[in-house]
Homo-oligomer: A and B are copies of this chain.
Amino acid sequence: MHIQSQNRLLLGPGPSSVHPEVLKAMATPLVGHLDPYFLQVMSDTQGMLRKVFQTDNQLTLAMSGTGSAGMETVFVNLVEPGDRVIVCIAGVFGERMKDVAERSGAEVITVETPWGRAIEPDQVEKALKATPGVKAVAIVHAETSTGVRQPLEEIARLAHDYGALFIVDAVTSLGGIPVEVDKLGIDACYSGTQKCLGAPPGLAPVTLNARALEVVRNRTKKVQSWYLDLNMIANYWGEDRFYHHTAPISMIFSLHEALRLLLDEGLENAFTRHAQNGELLQSELQKMGLELFAAEGFRLPQLTSVVFPDGVNEGQLRKQLLEEYGIEVGGGLGSLKGRAWRIGLLGYSSQKRNVVLLLQAMKELLGQA
């Protein structure tokens, strides 16, 4: 079998479809990971990542793994056995955080809310009051399992008031809605490349501020992961260029090109584009009589959970959409399994014509056309 294009339009929760220029960058003949040209590409990529994270953090780089590796990077580096960490859970990725934090040795205190809703700052404050010596508060900014946008300002303030680090999962938010790392005082933040950044999956942008980095530098115990140890990786991405592992060259090329396109468009313009296309999709879905799962006022423009009425076989519809239209959307997770779709308008996939096409296809499949 030869690898061949399947002509898919990716409107699921990620990966998103990728700009042809990003694909071209992927196909660039390789250079070595210590080649002067590649070191320049790494520096450039760091500079662009800082702009996208809206930060001046020195330690801003792309880990050599997918978004989940970014999550693990932050926890294994910041947490030492017995540290208390508050993890906010409002969907699958909050649950994953808990698992990852526990495997890093954390004593996890959870703050939970039903799926489809945002975490209330009061809940976090209660947990902070009840738990002495909390080292970090961690939360998912854009919960990919529900489509909920989590406001961060107050929780950031609370975490700092109680002396805790503030950790944010920006896998699905970065590049689609503002992730203001410095302004909000996010101490550690990670993302993935295959959502609103518009690159293929395979890298995890990560940024840590000086305060978080100090925690990493002053650990009493080695980071349990050699592969994700920021003490060493920072030296490879930093001025020393000390060899750690062979960076995934082609993936860095693709991220570089995706970031260049994003910054050429302008971050604000990209946010507006995501907002407008999300708004169009969500209002039209409601006109079709379908229910949006995420609470009003907390809906992500780039990720929409839509619930079908009883009697609709979403799996069958999703299969038809893929086979007849070449369009991929995602199924529901957890309690939404079998009754909802997750529609992504992420990065390059966030285009008006994609929304119009998807809506028309859905109408035809639902017999509303």
The residues of A with any CB-CB pair to B shorter than 8 Å are 1-8, 10, 12, 14-18, 23-33, 35, 37, 40-41, 44, 64-69, 71-72, 76, 96, 99-100, 102-104, 192, 194, 200-202, 222-227, 245-251, 253-254, 256-257, 260, 322, 328, 330
Please measure, in the bound complex, the distance between the C-alpha atom of A40 and the C-alpha atom of B3, giving whole angstroms: 11
Please measure, in the bound complex, the distance between the C-alpha atom of A72 and the C-alpha atom of B256, giving whole angstroms.
27
Which 8 A-B pairs have CB atoms at the shortest separation, nearest pair first?
Answer: A202-B248, A27-B27, A200-B250, A68-B245, A23-B27, A3-B25, A26-B26, A201-B246
Contact A28 B15 (CB under 8 A): no
Show 9 A/B contacts (Cβ-Cβ < 8 Å), sorted by A: A1-B40, A1-B41, A2-B257, A3-B41, A5-B29, A26-B26, A202-B251, A248-B251, A251-B251
List, in ascending order, chain B residues with CB within 8 A of A33's CB: 15, 201
Which residues on B sit within 8 Å (CB–CB) of A328?
Answer: 31-32, 35
The answer, among B28, B69, B99, for a CB contact under 8 Å with A65, is B69
Of chain B, the residue at the smallest CB distance from A24 is B27
* SS of A interface (majority): loop
Q: Please indicate which of the listed interface residues A26, A44, A224 has the most CB atoms of chain B within 10 Å of its own CB.
A: A26
- On whether the beta carbons of A15 and B249 are closer than 8 Å, the reply is yes
Neighbour of A245 across the interface among B6, B7, B35, B67, CB < 8 A: B67
Q: Which residue of B lies closest to A36 (CB)?
A: B322
Q: Is the CB of A246 within 8 A of B194?
A: yes
Contacts of A32 in B (CB 8 A): 8, 10, 12, 15, 328, 330
Copies in the complex: 2
Q: Is the CB of A17 within 8 A of B30?
A: yes
Within the assembled complex, what's the spacing in Å between the Cα atoms of A247 and B65?
Answer: 9
Residues in B with CB closer than 8 Å to A23 are 26-29
CB closest chain-B residue, reference A192: B246
Partner among B40, B202, B224 whose Cβ is within 8 Å of the Cβ of A64: B202
* A10-B30 contact in complex given A202-B251, A250-B202, C-beta closer than 8 Å: yes
Q: Which residues of B sit under 8 angstroms from A30, Cβ to Cβ? A: 8, 10, 15-18, 200
- CB of A82, distance to nearest CB on chain B (Å): 15
In the complex, chain B residues whose CB is within 8 Å of the CB of A25? 3
Enumerate chain B residues within 8 angstroms of A254, measured Cβ to Cβ: 250
A64 to B194, CA, bound (A): 14
Interface centre among A12, A96, A99, A224 (most CB of B within 10 A): A224
Q: Which of A224, A248, A256 has its CB near the most chain B CB atoms (within 10 A)?
A: A248
